[in-house]
Amino acid sequence: MLRSDRVFGLVVILAALAYIASALQLQTSFLSDPMGSKSFPIGLGAVAVLCGIVMIFKPEDEAEWPAPVAIFKIFISVVVMVAYAYALKPLGFLIPTTLAAGILSYLITPRLTFNVMVGIGLAIGLYLLFRYALGLETLQAIPKGWRG
């Protein structure tokens, strides 16, 4: 792991330098603030360079990887979240959120009745929060074709 941390640190430094170089190419208008539009990306790149230097000179010890079951659960979680993102527009908010929250809850603690209740509760609670408390008027609860 020591060598891979150092190689990754070098990659981070090179990417950060390229990022800084592209930030230096930004054009500023005459109405910009005193700091200018370049300062934040340059500062971000400088922090990334510092992080890369730390990785090179102080690499971590061997990492302890999770068990294969945990890696499988992480993979399933990623698949569920990607499917959730694609399902939101055609299926509305409630159905995909119920399914995703229920499945993710099951991956944490496999208790089916509890997981179904978590999915339903989170979907309804989040819908009410987003729609009425935060005023997200475009959020559709159900698919457009199901409304009369």
- The predicted pLDDT at position 145 comes to 80
Over the stretch 41-85, which tens digit does the pLDDT of each residue have? 999 999 999 999 999 998 887 777 789 999 999 999 999 999 999
- The predicted pLDDT at position 31 comes to 62
Over the stretch 98-134, which tens digit does the pLDDT of each residue have? 999 999 999 999 999 999 999 999 999 999 999 999 8
Q: pTM of the predicted model, to two decimals?
A: 0.62
Higher pLDDT, 138 or 11: 11
Radius of gyration of the chain (CA): 23
CB atoms inside a 10 Å sphere around CB 119:
21
Please give the Cα distance from 141 to 136 (Å, whole number): 11
- The predicted pLDDT at position 144 comes to 82
